[in-house]
Amino acid sequence: DAGVIQSPRHEVTEMGQEVTLRCKPISGHNSLFWYRQTMMRGLELLIYFNNNVPIDDSGMPEDRFSAKMPNASFSTLKIQPSEPRDSAVYFCASSLGPMVQENEQFFGPGTRLTVL
Amino acid sequence: GQSLEQPSEVTAVEGAIVQINCTYQTSGFYGLSWYQQHDGGAPTFLSYNALDGLEETGRFSSFLSRSDSYGYLLLQELQMKDSASYFCAVRFSRAGGSYIPTFGRGTSLIVHP
């Protein structure tokens, strides 16, 4: 398997623009996670899906952020409008399932977002 | 709320042994994991402890004491390539039965020749 795939790897945009990040989880994995990593705040969970259903979105910072998982092999994280403070590395991760014994998360390479 | 504490930085020399500690406060605790992240890379899974005791995987071992809300990652025979950030993570249960992963701020390990 190719692992978790994210695109784009780098994104530079201007404040106010819409940004869409994409993720393809590992085939057969039922749980998908979106994280944001910054020096100031570390690695933060934004939202977590199980079987394509959002289970917990308490980490989504505000209404400008939205995430979807239309099918088992694709998810998007959208920021509209983007702001400079959204600059971070966004990781997508997947795991076999939500049970604690299916704990290991496989991370994608991340998308480095810069909002000017 | 949930919180994890780990040292921000640890330094050691090649060939040595180093221990990275993690203490946590969380309700509904369901195991402690460790991840490694090299600069510019993605976190990669190292180990998971659900029960008290030591888990060994090659040069790396991980320990958990649930009564002390404490765990550590032990790295033996350090190599230069072990220079990276190490994160402890817990999963806690939220109402509704979901298990939410929370990561510590990470410990930067610097290995000197």
pLDDT at A99: 64
State the average pLDDT over residues B33-40: 96
pLDDT at B79: 97
Q: Which residue of A has its CA nearest to B34?
A: A104
Each residue's pLDDT tens digit, A43-75? 999 999 999 999 888 889 889 999 999 999 999
Pairing relationship of beta strands A65-71 and A53-56 according to DSSP bridges? unpaired
Return d(Cα A18, Cα A77) in angstroms, integer. Answer: 11
Strand partners, A92: A34
pLDDT at A2: 83
**DSSP notation for A24-56:** EPPTT--EEEEEEEETTTEEEEEEEEETTEEEE
Return d(Cα A100, Cα B63) in angstroms, integer. Answer: 17
- 3-state SS of chain B is CCEEECCCEEEEECCCCEEEEEEEECCCEEEEEEEEECCCCCCEEEEEECCCEEEEECCEEEEEECCCCEEEEEECCCCHHHCEEEEEEEEEEECCCEEEEEECCCEEEEEEC
Residue B66: pLDDT band (50, 70, 90) is: very high
Higher local confidence (pLDDT), B90 or B42:
B42
Pairing relationship of beta strands A88-95 and A19-24 according to DSSP bridges? unpaired
What is the number of other CB atoms lying within 10 angstroms of the CB of residue A30?
Answer: 17
Q: In chain A, which among 48-107 make CB contacts under 8 A with chain B?
A: 48, 50, 55-56, 91, 93, 98-101, 103-107
Residue B97, pLDDT > 60, answer: yes
Per the CB < 8 Å rule, is B31 touching A103? yes
Q: Is the dihedral of CA B25, B23, A58, A47 positive or negative?
A: negative
Higher local confidence (pLDDT), A69 or B93:
A69
Residues on chain A touching B41 (C-beta within 8 angstroms): 109
Nearest to A91 by CA among A45, A10, A34: A34
pLDDT at B95: 65
pLDDT at A61: 86
Per the CB < 8 Å rule, is B99 touching A99? yes
Average pLDDT over chain B, rounded to an integer: 92
Higher local confidence (pLDDT), B1 or B44:
B44
Return d(Cα B44, Cα B106) in angstroms, integer. Answer: 13
Per the CB < 8 Å rule, is A107 touching B42? yes
Residue A102: pLDDT band (50, 70, 90) is: low
